[in-house]
């Protein structure tokens, strides 16, 4: 259930919105994943996706209206996020059955050695 503050924040984003302050307009987080090779910025806290640009020397992130239902802290976004997790966990479970996955895990297990100093 959304808090009154979240509902107000969501309402404030009822059309294309833009931030220049470096914080997410929905959740106020200032941690974004910048998708390599694109202009996409994804809020690491709520998952809101926008495009990043520079105007007058300041970074701007613009959020289109069609992303608002995807934020992780509203019910519609929680449902989508849960489906994403279920799909990815299912994909990982299938991947773990492959020889390539088992070989990669074995490689890392053999390559990684403890680095803690011995205790005298």
Q: Which residues bind Zn ion (CB under 5 A)?
A: 24, 26-27, 29, 43, 45-46, 48
Residue with smaller CB distance to Zn ion, 22 or 54: 22
Residue 62's nearest CA partner among 70, 53, 71, 75 is 53
Task: Please report how close the Cβ of residue 51 comes to Zn ion at its closest, in angstroms.
Answer: 15
Residue with smaller CB distance to Zn ion, 46 or 68: 46
Task: Please report how close the Cβ of residue 6 comes to Zn ion at its closest, in angstroms.
Answer: 11
Residue with smaller CB distance to Zn ion, 45 or 59: 45
Task: Please report how close the Cβ of residue 114 comes to Zn ion at its closest, in angstroms.
Answer: 38
Q: With b meaning 16 or more CB within 10 Å and e meaning fewer, what string describes 38-51?
A: eeebbbebbbbbbe
Residue with smaller CB distance to Zn ion, 33 or 101: 33
CA angle 107, 113, 119 (to 5 degrees): 165
Beta bridge mates, 60: 53
Task: Please report how close the Cβ of residue 23 comes to Zn ion at its closest, in angstroms.
Answer: 8
DSSP E strand stretches across 1-120: 17-19, 32-34, 40-43, 49-55, 58-63
């Amino acid at each position: 259930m959304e808090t009154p503050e979240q509902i107000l924040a969501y309402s404030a984003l009822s059309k294309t919105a833009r931030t220049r302050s470096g914080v997410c307009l929905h959740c106020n987080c200032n941690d974004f994943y910048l998708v390599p090779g694109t202009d996409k910025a994804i809020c690491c806290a709520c998952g809101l996706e926008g495009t990043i640009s520079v105007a007058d020397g300041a970074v701007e992130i613009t959020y289109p209206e069609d992303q608002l239902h995807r934020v992780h802290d509203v019910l519609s976004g929680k449902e989508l996020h849960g489906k994403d997790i279920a799909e990815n966990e299912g994909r990982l479970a299938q991947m773990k059955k492959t020889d390539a996955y088992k070989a990669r895990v074995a490689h890392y297990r053999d390559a990684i050695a403890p680095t803690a100093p011995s205790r005298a």
